[in-house]
Structure 1
Amino acid sequence: MTIFARRARASAGRMHPELSLVSYTLLGHLEERGGCRATDLAAHYALDKSTVSRQVAALERAGLIERRLDPEDHRVQVLHLTEAGQEILAQVTRSRRAAFRERLAGWPEEDLVRFAAYLERYNAGQGDPDSA
């Protein structure tokens, strides 16, 4: 699992030099949710607000996310992917999928089926797919 995590962190950096695994994960969450508040990110990932604040600031500086006023409550700012953020996320996702396909290309079908079943079982046991 440690090697798997190291590879995931390293692959995000290779795909885009400013995009850590945490940044990639946050961008993916924002895309999936259609935007959310920084406090929602902190709560979802059980992170300190200051940690999320630093990550959000870095993503804003990189032009990958932007803050918009919540139309229902103008006191609240909602984080959304910018067009550049959507493009980077899509690029990294495509690259990661290609890397997975390449690594698994020589595997026999029965091994792939077994591996997929094990991943599904592992993920189902966690409840929240974003928690480790």
Structure 2
Amino acid sequence: MPTSQDMTTDLDHGLLDALQHQVAVFARRAEQTRLGGTGQLRNSMDRAAYLLLNRLDQEGPMGVKALAAGMGIDSSTVTRQVAPLVDTGLVKRTSHPEDGRAVVLQLSPRGQARLEEVRSSRRELMAQVTDGWTEAERESFCTLLTRFNSALSARQAGLPPAEREADRETETAPAS
């Protein structure tokens, strides 16, 4: 079985250099624009807030530990990132229905409305940025970007390459 080093030497170094450069440029541009959307809502919600609200919307109410595990980050990070969302009324803390001592985080109606505003603005941005692309090109880009993000996540989680490859077959892009 070839090692990671063997695979790197077998691949075209020029292509890998171009890929890492384009990823670096993408990361810089994404951070500069924060892929925030268009119009009044441009740059209106930071990445952490968007990802937390989106996760709560997609998966429903959950505790800090479950939210942290699902996002692949530390519980203390989630606690720190959720605090301003609670303070601004986008997320509410409630008691767990089965264990009143446990706290559950839930998207508030205000948070749901705000998330939809931001999603709508970001959809418009994606439409503008990919104007002139075919539907197949958009789908292909989304599939490859999802696969790339999943591979990075699996690598960060310490999964061996064989498991990373197996996970690829179950990947789906998040619904919006």
Same fold (TM over 0.5): yes
Aligned to 2:35: 11
In structure 1, the residue matched to 2:90 is 64
Structure 1 residues 56 and 39: CA distance shift in structure 2, 3 A: same
- Counterparts in 2 of 1:91-130, with a 5 A limit? 91-107=117-133, 109=134, 112-124=135-147, 126=150, 127=167
- Which residue identity does 2:62 align to in structure 1? C
Structure of greater Rg: 2
The residue number in structure 2 matching 1:81 is: 107
SS of the equivalent of 1:72 reads coil
Structure 2 stretches of 5 or more lacking a match? 1-22, 151-166
Query: Matched residues in 1 for 2:124 and 2:113: separation?
Result: 16
Identity of aligned residues (%): 33
Work out whether 1:25 is the aligned partner of 2:56. Answer: no
Q: Is the 8 A contact 2:36 2:121 kept in 1?
A: no
If the length of structure 1 is used for normalisation, what is the TM-score? 0.80
TM-superposed CA distance for 1:48, in Å, is: 1.8
Task: Output the CA distance in 1 between the equivalents of 2:93 and 2:26.
Answer: 33
Aligned residues: 127
Deviations 1:80-111 (A, max 9, x none): 1111100110000000001111122223x3xx
2:60 is matched with: 34
CA RMSD of aligned residues (A): 2.6
Question: 1:122, CA displacement in angstroms?
Answer: 4.2
1:102 and 1:121, CA in 2 relative to 1: closer, same or farther beyond 3 A? closer
Q: Secondary structure at the match of 2:35?
A: helix
Distance 1:89 1:77, change over 3 A: same
Contact 1:8/1:21, CA 8 A, preserved across alignment: no
> Cα 1:57–1:18, aligned 2, differ >3 Å: closer, same or farther?
farther
CA distance in structure 2 between the aligned counterparts of 1:15 and 1:53, rounded to whole angstroms:
25
Q: Could you state the TM-score of these two structures normalised by the residue count of structure 2?
A: 0.62
Query: Could you say which structure has the higher strand fraction?
Result: 1
